[in-house]
Amino acid sequence: MLKDYLTGLPAFGIYFATAVAMVAAFGGAYSLVTRHHEFTLLRRGCAAAVPAFLGALIGYVLPLTTAMQHSTNWLDFVIWALIGAVVQIVAYLISCLIMPGLSKRISDNDIAGGVLLGGMALVFGMINSASMTP
Domain assignments of the chain as residue spans, ordered by start = 19-131
- Residue 129 has φ and ψ, to the nearest 5°, of -60, -45
Q: How far, in Å, CA of 88 to CA of 95, rounded?
A: 10
Going by C-alpha positions, the residue among 38, 57, 52 that lies closest to residue 118 is: 52
pLDDT at residue 9 in the model: 87
CA 86 vs CA 33, 60, 83, 89: distances in Å: 11, 9, 5, 5
H helix count then E strand count, the chain: 7, 0
pLDDT at 94 over 90: yes
pLDDT tens digit string along 66-92?
999 999 999 999 999 999 999 999 999
pLDDT at residue 6 in the model: 80
How many beta carbons lie within 10 A of that of residue 59, not counting itself? 29
Mean pLDDT of 23-39: 95
Percent of the chain clearing pLDDT 70 (strictly above): 99
Residue 50: its H or E element:
helix 49-70
pLDDT at 2 over 80: no
Percent of the chain clearing pLDDT 90 (strictly above): 89
> Mean pLDDT in the chain?
94
Predicted TM-score (pTM) of this structure = 0.92
pLDDT at residue 1 in the model: 66
Going by C-alpha positions, the residue among 15, 119, 134 that lies closest to residue 58 is: 119
